[in-house]
Every structure is written in structure tokens, then in C-alpha cells.
Structure 1
Amino acid sequence: MRVVIAGGGIGGLATALSLHAAGFEDVVVHEAAREIRPLGVGINLLPHAVRELTELGLADRLAEIGVPTGELAYFNRYGTPIWSEPRGLGAGYAWPQYSVHRGRLQMVLLEAVIERLGPHAVRTGSRARAAAPSATPVPAPGREGNPDGTGHTDGTGHTDGPDPGTGELLGLPVGPDDLLVGADGIHSAVRAHLFPGEGPPPWNGLVLWRGTTYGEPFLTGRSMIMAGDGTQKFVAYPIEVGERTLINWIAERPLDGEAPDRGDWNRPADPRRIAAHFADWRFDWLDVPGIITGAESAYAYPMVDRDPLPYWTSGNITLLGDAAHAMYPIGSNGASQAIIDARVLAHSLAHGDLAAYEAARRPATTALQLANREMGPEVVMKLAHERAPSGFDDVEEVIPFAERAEIAASYKRTAGFDPASLNERPSWSVTR
């Protein structure tokens, strides 16, 4: 089978590597940009994603570009501790957790694809174009679907939706026996082809500002911190250590007016204006406004996601990553879930069962999308503010340890990285 992948981001490149490892040789990635460059800021790779990249033979390369996360810690808006936990190997996982620059990770994946599949496996300047389907339109999410309620007519992944054509689909060379994987992000043309009435991503009224700043190490030097009150939040973690520490940061608060450019990470913002919203967030261990104003540049991003879909697969088309399940950037799961999608898709195709991919991944990611809309594990900051808006001396009197521990453990179970379950789960690698 020939597989055509729309999108050369983390999900699309991880899919190409996974398919190659599973024995598929005819795989081509089509990327809209004319040149793939190491753009973006920091992201986290959770242990379940690191496991998959390790099994793809990329462990050493990850170690070269990533900072192993030592702990995750939550604080209120006054810098008082609410909850902390070890991460990665220190938490009992068989694999580390990494904080990495998104662009550097993408380049590692790109280099591996070219090494293993050849230079012609990635075609830049080749964009999937949304087009009106040639048959009865597939309903948008939330509208009435096929009789079984899933959008499927027979349980095999086939529907009465768009006809894939014979030689080209959405502007890409896709034959009737090929598979098109839509890994083209939150504004996916492939998704729009399957669900033409969906519209723009829904916005929750918050705006994120993101940037990177060289600064002094804080706490353990490998800590990921979140401070806030459930409405306004600041996140920071190192993505480069050595002679200097490069700190990735995210500042979040409500935005008055309409959200501009939903789903666009590249809208510049003035760090000084951002810092004004956090002017008194100076803690003994972290100078929040100092970190923000120290950035050479910053970018604004309205907090948007996508509604869960009734199905991902129609004929010889399926979705993956943000195209399938874009979620709020809570719990550090976006890139990790796309990597897991890639591995499960390759495993399913190697066993001749495309439907197994969606059956395994769609319910899991739907639950995670909904959990992130409820703030996931970050809800402890909201609870602390609601119960002690002026601050507290003893967090145990505000949120008992058992409640905090269950919030953290429940999210790990939902997201698929409970330590025991992950360590014991069989591999998705395919014996060739």
C-alpha cells in the first residue's frame, strides 16, 4: 500500500518513520511550506511519547536536544507551592520526559525520515487543498450522522462520504488504492474535506503568549512550573541548559474582544505589554515579569481547540494529530498524542486493520480533549484560588493531599501515561 501524508510537522514525520519501521516502503510526506525550518518554541515530550521515539531508534538524538524534566510543580499566583511530583525516570517510568524546542525536534524527525526513506520522501511546497466533496457531504461534528451514531456504515471505517477519486485528492497525488493521512494541523484541509461545515476552531476567551528567555536556573534546574489562579497563569521550563539556561515560558489570561488569527502561532506580541499583566508576580525563586521582558520576541495565540469528531476515517482517508483532535495546551499532550497516533496507525496498518487505529485512538483522545477543557491537572490552581483567594500557609488545609494526588493520577490515566500501565504495555513495534 502507498501512504500519502499531508503535513510535515511532528505528527506527519513520526507517521512516516513509524510506517517505515512497520515495513511500508512507499510513503511520501507532503508539506505546504517550501522549506521546513526549526520554528516555534518549547514543548514537552511525555514518557509515553519518548517510549515510541525510543523504539524508533531516536533515543540518543532526543537526549542531545532535550532537557530531562526532573519535576512538575504547581503554585498559586503568590508563588506558594500547591503540588509537586517527580517526572520521567525519577517518577518510575522506564523512559525520561523531555522539554525540547519544537523546531529542533521536527528537524531530528525530518533528518531521520530522509536517512531512512530517502530524500524524495518529503516534498515541500505541496499543500493539501480543501475542496467540496464529490458526493453527499459528511455532517460536521455535532450534526446527525449515520444510523449507528459513529458516521460509519459497516464498522470497517468506510462511509458514504467523499469519493477519493482515482489520481488526485485535495491537490495531492492519491490513487484509489492509496491511503491519505491528514496530519496537517488544526486548520487541516483534509479534515475540512471530510467535515466541510465545521468552521473555525472554537475559542475559550483566553490568550496565550509564548516566548523564550535566557536566564538563571530555578528550583531544581530541570523543573517545569505552573503558577496561577485558574484564570491567569504562568508556565516556565528550561529547554536548553549549559553555560546559559534557555527558559521557555507561557503567559495566559483572558483577552477582551474577539480572538485574532485563531490557530496561528506566529502573531508577534510586545513582551513589555505582556509583562504588565504580571507586574507583581515576583517570587523568591522566580521573577516572572523579568523573564517575560527578557525575551527577544513573543507570540500571541488564542486558546482554541477542535470539537471531538464522530469519526476520523472515510474511505481511504484518515486523520491524525491536531487534524483529528486538536486540544488545549494543557497537560503537555499535543505533540505526544500525535506521536502515539503515528505508532498505532502503523501497527494497525501492518496488521491490515485500519479501523483498529481509530478504535484505539479516537475514544482516548476525545476523553483527553474534554479533560483539557476542564483544565486537566492544572485545576489544582483554580481550586486553591477558589478556596483561599488571598493565599494560604498550609496547602493541606486548602486541598488535602489525597485530593491533589488523585487529580494528578486521574489525568495520567486519561492521557495514557500512568507509570505502571505504560511500563507494562506491550510494544506497538512491528516485527518485519
Structure 2
Amino acid sequence: MKRQHHVVVIGGGTGGLCLAQALHKAGVSVAVYERSRTRTERLQGYRVHINPHGSQALHECLPADLWQRFVDTCGSSGGNFAFLTEQLDELLEIGDDLIGSADPASGHHSVSRITLHQVLSAGLDGILHYDKEFVRYERNSDGTVTCHFADGTTATGDIVVAADGGGSRVRQQYLPSAGRVDTGIVTVAGKFPLTDATRNLLPSRLVDGPNNILPKPGRFMFCAPHDLADGRNDETYDHDKVLFDNTTSYVMWAFAAGRSRFPANVSDVDGIGLRNTVGRMIEDWHPGLRTLVAGTPGEAVSLLPIRTSVPVKQWPTTNITLLGDAIHSMTPFGGIGANTALRDARLLSHNIIDAVQQDRDMLAAIADYERQMVEYGFAAVRSSLRNATQAVSEATIGRVMFKTILRVCSAVPMLKRKMFSDLGSSE
């Protein structure tokens, strides 16, 4: 007789919900415990890029109807991806021949984080529990693990998965040596609303596709359209702040620099103050970029301190494991954090389901997941940290060399294909 396994997932973010969807679809008992009090409390309003790893995970883990809902509610990122100077001079443009795919399950997608969370939460009634703030866990004599929550309730499982983000309390108890560090980089992000009136205020390049802006050393900017002009993304929750709106089109932008370039009190500045601070820091840039920032509502501007996980050595496998930011939190430079969490969910769910259905050793299944996850997960951490460090480096020669490489790649198609065919991958 096959042993029954109950999986307790701590954290209802992207990776945890994707894992729960896959396990539930396969008939494996699972429950998710999320500290937010309601479904809408922790919604984050910025665009997220889903790369082929993320697409493959969502396609495999979601029921067919939810996968189709994901595809139907994705926005358009426009056309080609470009590297530009702060005056919008083109350094390199990367077309669909390198990053496009006719198959949605292996393609790139632009999605509102709010909409993604709504899709991942759908159909989990009785499985997804809110207002459950994890406090600690304890091991029981029968091998199970009991999780304790701030409201005095508990949940016991045969397997516990920490999916509770970069500040994971499960990780702090289970792997206290695995921490995060501040990179010293500060990012300010905002959403410029795209309407019939505002589209014409921006140069077409800023509306046509994603862009990396490479100014003089020490600063960096990324922007990308999330365009719903064809009426997609009509599922939403009412909310009175622009930050949480997922039914209108916008250009998402993020400006990054070392902390020393920002005011000392930047952490205490509101959205309007942050927007104005960035405006002063780009006052000699192209007017289109200045308009992008100045035209963003203050309530749609946020401060994002950049932290990263410290790589850890492989630990002895138990029936407690981790996924996503709970173990390999990374910088947003490269756009692979959410995709790596989805990749974790796909691999872990596959291994758990296989162990349950084939009545195989569950610890061996978890060990195989952890071995692979640590390898690709921390490779992504290193890659994103390298990207972040280079993006805000004060070294003039490095920035000049990188711009030269981009121009050479633009002139030599074969070299461009070799260097950028895996754009957005965590490999």
C-alpha cells in the first residue's frame, strides 16, 4: 500500500503557489499557509518577465484552464529588446529571431504580478490559508513536522516546503548560516500609464519594447512596456492605488545606482520624492526618459533596496526543503528571480509526485531536487549579482568596453546570436 504524504507549503508567493497547483493537480495532499490576511493584501503591481523556464513550469504545473488564462491575460512587451545610451542612441537591438517562440509554453511573456498571483491562487479553495504567520516548526517522533503560527494554530505535514521569501523564517531556523546581504545598490521603480494621450509623449522606442539604458558609469535604467491595448487582463480586484492596478497599460521603469548617489534619507522619502530624486539624477538624459519618470504618478513609485543570498554548501537532506527566494534570493538584474522559483516548483513537484505515485524514497527525491536547485539557483544568484554590480559600476573603462562589445555584436549578426540566444535564461 502506497504511503500518503501531506505537503505543507509556507508562503503563498509565485513559487509556493505554483508548487501547490502541480501537487493538487496530481492528487497529492497539499496546504499553503500565507501570512497575508487577505488575497489582495500582498499584491505587487509591477510587470514581471516570464522566460522559457518559467513558461515551461507554468505550463506543466497549472491545470489546462489556468494555463490558458495565464496566456490570455499576458500583456505585450512590444517588439525587439534594445540596449541604448541615455540619449536613446541604439547600441544593439535583439529581435524575435533570438528570443521569440511560436509556442507559448517555451516563450517569453509579460505579465502583471497581480494577475499572475490571481491565476496561481485560483482553484485552491480549502488549500490556500491566509492570515497564517509562520513562527517556528518542531519535529515530531513519527517523523512529521508541525508548523506553529502567530495566531496559535498549527499545521502538521510529512514534508514542509519553505516558500516564504527572502526573509524566510523557516530558513532562519533550518539553515541559520544561509543569509542575505545588502548589495549597496538602490533601485527606484515606477509605472508610467499608457493611454491614448500619453503614448505620444514618449519616443516610440520606449513603447515598442524592453530597453536597457546604459548612461555614464554609476547609473543604470531598465524600462519595458506592459501593453493591454487589445483588452486583455480584464480580471482584477478594485483598489484605489495606481500601484495595484493591473487592468491598464503602462511602461515599467527602474533606475538603479549605488546608495551613495542617493540622499541619505532615501528610505524615508515618499513616491513623489523618489520620482523627483530620479528626475534630478537624469536631468541631462534624453527628454523622453525624463518624461517617462516625470509623468509617473507618485503612488506608482517604490523604493527597492537590492539584496542577494550568500551561497551555501549542500546541506543534509531532510523532509524540510526550500524554494525560490527562501533559499536563493537574487537581484532583479536579469529578470530571472521569479522564473527560477517557478523552475524550483516544477522540479520539486515532479520529484514529489513521482515518489508518491511510484512509492519511491521521498528523501531521495528531495535530495535530487536540492542538488539540482542549488546548482542552477546559485548560478542565477551569481549571474544576477554580476549584472547588478556591472550595471552601477563607477568604472569608466568597463562601461566603455561593454558599449563597444554591444556595437560590435550589432555589426556582426553571428556574434550577436552567439552571445544573446539565451537572453533571460538562468543557465
TM band (smaller chain): 0.7 to 0.9
Counterpart mapping for 1:357-372 below 5 A: 357-372=369-384
Aligned-partner residue type, residue 352 of structure 2: L
Q: 1:191 aligns with which of 158, 171, 188?
A: 171
CA displacement at 1:261 relative to structure 2: 12
Separation (CA, whole Å) in 2 of partners of 1:167 and 1:256: 45
Any gaps of 5 or more consecutive residues in structure 2?
A: 231-247, 356-364
Separation (CA, whole Å) in 1 of partners of 2:262 and 2:143: 39
- Taking a change above 3 Å as real, the CA distance of residues 381 and 238 of structure 1, as seen in their structure-2 partners, is farther
Task: Indicate the residue corresponding to 2:240 in structure 1.
Answer: none
- Taking a change above 3 Å as real, the CA distance of residues 242 and 164 of structure 1, as seen in their structure-2 partners, is farther
Task: Indicate the residue corresponding to 2:44 in structure 1.
Answer: 39
Task: Report if aligned partners of 1:205, 1:259 keep a CA contact under 8 Å in 2.
Answer: no
SS of alignment partner, residue 211 of structure 1: strand
SS of alignment partner, residue 125 of structure 1: coil
- Taking a change above 3 Å as real, the CA distance of residues 260 and 93 of structure 1, as seen in their structure-2 partners, is farther
CA displacement at 1:76 relative to structure 2: 2.7
Counterpart mapping for 1:369-408 below 5 A: 369-375=381-387, 386=398, 388=400, 395-396=407-408, 405-408=417-420
- Taking a change above 3 Å as real, the CA distance of residues 232 and 407 of structure 1, as seen in their structure-2 partners, is farther
CA displacement at 1:202 relative to structure 2: 1.1
Separation (CA, whole Å) in 2 of partners of 1:248 and 1:16: 29
The question of 1:98 aligning with 2:109 is answered yes
Instruction: Figure out how many residues of one structure are paired with residues of the other and give that number.
Output: 374
Task: Report if aligned partners of 1:182, 1:318 keep a CA contact under 8 Å in 2.
Answer: yes
CA displacement at 1:196 relative to structure 2: 2.5
Task: Report if aligned partners of 1:45, 1:336 keep a CA contact under 8 Å in 2.
Answer: yes
TM superposition score normalised by structure 2: 0.76
Separation (CA, whole Å) in 2 of partners of 1:261 and 1:202: 20
SS of alignment partner, residue 51 of structure 1: helix
Task: Indicate the residue corresponding to 1:173 in structure 2.
Answer: 154
Task: Report if aligned partners of 1:66, 1:100 keep a CA contact under 8 Å in 2.
Answer: yes
Task: Report if aligned partners of 1:67, 1:222 keep a CA contact under 8 Å in 2.
Answer: no
Aligned-partner residue type, residue 91 of structure 1: G
SS of alignment partner, residue 300 of structure 1: strand
Task: Report if aligned partners of 1:213, 1:294 keep a CA contact under 8 Å in 2.
Answer: yes
SS of alignment partner, residue 91 of structure 2: strand
CA RMSD across the alignment: 3.8
- Give the stretch that moved more between structures: 1-10 or 287-296: 287-296
Counterpart mapping for 1:29-428 below 5 A: 29-37=32-40, 38-55=43-60, 56=62, 57=64, 58-69=66-77, 70-87=79-96, 91-92=100-101, 94-95=103-104, 96-111=107-122, 115=123, 117=124, 119-130=125-136, 168-171=146-149, 173-175=154-156, 178-198=158-178, 201-215=180-194, 216=199, 218-219=204-205, 221-229=207-215, 231-242=218-229, 245-256=249-260, 268=271, 270-282=274-286, 287-296=288-297, 297=299, 298-311=301-314, 314-352=317-355, 353-375=365-387, 386=398, 388=400, 395-396=407-408, 405-409=417-421, 415-416=426-427
CA displacement at 1:27 relative to structure 2: 0.9
SS of alignment partner, residue 209 of structure 1: strand
- Taking a change above 3 Å as real, the CA distance of residues 61 and 359 of structure 1, as seen in their structure-2 partners, is same
Task: Indicate the residue corresponding to 1:10 in structure 2.
Answer: 14
- Taking a change above 3 Å as real, the CA distance of residues 190 and 314 of structure 1, as seen in their structure-2 partners, is farther
Separation (CA, whole Å) in 2 of partners of 1:343 and 1:8: 16
Separation (CA, whole Å) in 1 of partners of 2:98 and 2:415: 24
SS of alignment partner, residue 332 of structure 1: coil
TM superposition score normalised by structure 1: 0.75
Separation (CA, whole Å) in 1 of partners of 2:174 and 2:167: 13
- Taking a change above 3 Å as real, the CA distance of residues 87 and 208 of structure 1, as seen in their structure-2 partners, is farther
Separation (CA, whole Å) in 1 of partners of 2:146 and 2:24: 23
- Taking a change above 3 Å as real, the CA distance of residues 388 and 60 of structure 1, as seen in their structure-2 partners, is same
Separation (CA, whole Å) in 2 of partners of 1:237 and 1:386: 25
SS of alignment partner, residue 82 of structure 1: strand
- Taking a change above 3 Å as real, the CA distance of residues 357 and 233 of structure 1, as seen in their structure-2 partners, is same
Quick one: percent identity of the two aligned structures?
Answer: 22
Task: Indicate the residue corresponding to 2:237 in structure 1.
Answer: none
Separation (CA, whole Å) in 1 of partners of 2:118 and 2:282: 34
Separation (CA, whole Å) in 2 of partners of 1:359 and 1:17: 23
Cα distance per residue 1:359-405 (max 9 Å; x no partner):
22210111111112211897799999636489889922999766654
Task: Report if aligned partners of 2:210, 2:222 keep a CA contact under 8 Å in 1.
Answer: yes
Cα distance per residue 1:14-71 (max 9 Å; x no partner):
11011123331x2111000101213331111112211222232234212332224332
Task: Report if aligned partners of 2:75, 2:111 keep a CA contact under 8 Å in 1.
Answer: yes
Separation (CA, whole Å) in 2 of partners of 1:381 and 1:81: 21
Task: Indicate the residue corresponding to 1:427 in structure 2.
Answer: none
Aligned-partner residue type, residue 223 of structure 2: A
Separation (CA, whole Å) in 1 of partners of 2:343 and 2:57: 7
Separation (CA, whole Å) in 2 of partners of 1:122 and 1:259: 41
Task: Report if aligned partners of 2:190, 2:252 keep a CA contact under 8 Å in 1.
Answer: yes
The question of 1:27 aligning with 2:23 is answered no
Any gaps of 5 or more consecutive residues in structure 1?
A: 135-161, 417-432
- Taking a change above 3 Å as real, the CA distance of residues 68 and 90 of structure 1, as seen in their structure-2 partners, is farther
